[in-house]
Structure 1
Amino acid sequence: MTYLLPALAAACVLAGCAPTPPSLDARDGFMTTLQGMCGQRFEGALSYAIDPNSEFANKPISTEVVCKADAVRMPVQVGADRSRTWIFTRNAAGLELRHDHRHPDGTPDAVTMYGGMAKEGGTARSQSFLADAYTAKLVPGAETNVWTVSLSQDGSVLTYRLDRHDKPRAEFVLKRVAG
């Protein structure tokens, strides 16, 4: 059996095959995609909500991609409300999404920093984040939340979708603003 390994290696060299490089982790790829969007603005609106009277209904929604050394932040403006920021971080535990909610004076809202880690199977253009225990405790009913953030192939459309109990709850579709 040990004689097979050198023979296979020699056959590979003669055939010109090269070792396959390790694939980029999709979570790293997603962060790279976001970092490639630094400074870009997106505008749009709520395209779907389980509650037609949602606070997001009939209001413009916008965000800008702000890159920091340790995170990508996307401050979200809904109408005149600037209280929300999506924060993406890549750390040893994985890829994380947090929702930072603030009062106008900058103090944290009672419901803030909820979110969770990206689940397996994402891509460099789309990741889904599962609610963590902190979120389940902070937001009643949110224990099954899944937030999916996707960017179209050409980078012109950013979609943020929330599912709860395996059903769509809300979706924002934002288009890149030429700058």
Structure 2
Amino acid sequence: MIKKLLLPILFLLSFNTYAQQKSGAQQFWDLLKQHCGKAYQGEITHGMTDAFKNGPLVMHVRQCNDSLIKIPFFVGEDKSRTWVLKLANSRILLKHDHRHADGSEDKVTQYGGLTSNSGTANMQIFPADQQTIDLLPAAAGNVWWITIDENSFTYNLRRIGTDRLFTVKFDLTKPIAAPTAPWGWKD
């Protein structure tokens, strides 16, 4: 009788220990990877600018593996933006890959930042890195963060010391048809 009671308890304890061994970054990564291949429509919830008024906002979790996730972000017919996430040593690097319609790199590209810690399963924070500051000195105070849960994904930007705040929120409960390849990619 005691053995029958102890077995489920031991299983739960061992499972809980395994989950605790995964860093926040790895848990976040695993959650995001569940959406690989899927696309979602979004809406601006803070900081609307003219650049984002030209059609539907779509993210497509297009490429995923154990250390790289690429998420093209389309604004109408503008397929120039891809969020590139890289996981290494329980930290995640966020870069913004900007391309022209012919696939060539924009002069303002590859900016972003590296998490300063492992974050949580539902949020990762990316302060601007030195490459970003060298490319865009005004972005020295940029902090990006991404949140994810079972219902939504948000991409956020705050420029510390200013009123600048940008948030786009995607509904993860309603996948849409996957779009064609972003600029610079091949289907």
Q: Could you state the TM-score of these two structures normalised by the residue count of structure 1? A: 0.79
Larger mean CA deviation between 63-72 and 99-108 belongs to 63-72
- 1:13 aligns to what? none
- 1:133 aligns to what? 130
- 2:61 aligns to what? 65
**3-state SS of the aligned residue for 2:137?**
coil
CA deviations over 1:99-148 (Å, ceiling 9, x no partner): 00000000000000111111326211211111100001111311111111
Larger mean CA deviation between 126-135 and 62-71 belongs to 62-71
Report if the CA contact (8 A) 2:23-2:118 is conserved. Answer: no
**3-state SS of the aligned residue for 2:97?**
strand
- 2:29 aligns to what? 31
- 1:161 aligns to what? 156
Point out the structure with the larger helix share. Answer: 2
Which letter maps to 2:42?
A: G
- Structure 1, gaps ≥5 residues long: 1-15
Structure 1 residue 93 displacement after superposition: 7.8
- 1:118 aligns to what? 115
- Structure 2, gaps ≥5 residues long: 1-9, 177-187
Structure 1 residue 68 displacement after superposition: 3.4
- 1:173 aligns to what? 169
CA distance in 2 between partners of 1:96 and 1:165 (Å) = 20
**3-state SS of the aligned residue for 1:119?**
coil
CA distance in 2 between partners of 1:62 and 1:53 (Å) = 16
- 1:143 aligns to what? 140
CA deviations over 1:27-61 (Å, ceiling 9, x no partner): 11111111111112111122211xx5431136421
Among the aligned pairs, what percent are the same residue?
31
Which letter maps to 1:170?
A: F
Over aligned residues, Cα RMSD in angstroms?
Answer: 2.3
Structure 1 residue 178 displacement after superposition: 3.3
- 1:54 aligns to what? 50
Which letter maps to 2:140?
A: E
Cα distance, 1:79–1:23 mapped onto 2, change above 3 Å: same
CA distance in 1 between partners of 2:175 and 2:144 (Å) = 26
- 1:95 aligns to what? 92
Q: Could you state the TM-score of these two structures normalised by the residue count of structure 2? A: 0.76
Count of matched residue pairs: 159
Larger mean CA deviation between 166-175 and 103-112 belongs to 166-175
Report if the CA contact (8 A) 1:100-1:112 is conserved. Answer: yes
CA deviations over 1:1-49 (Å, ceiling 9, x no partner): xxxxxxxxxxxxxxx9x89555211111111111111112111122211
Point out the structure with the larger strand share. Answer: 1
CA distance in 1 between partners of 2:94 and 2:175 (Å) = 26
Q: Which runs of 4+ in 1 moved over 6 A?
A: none
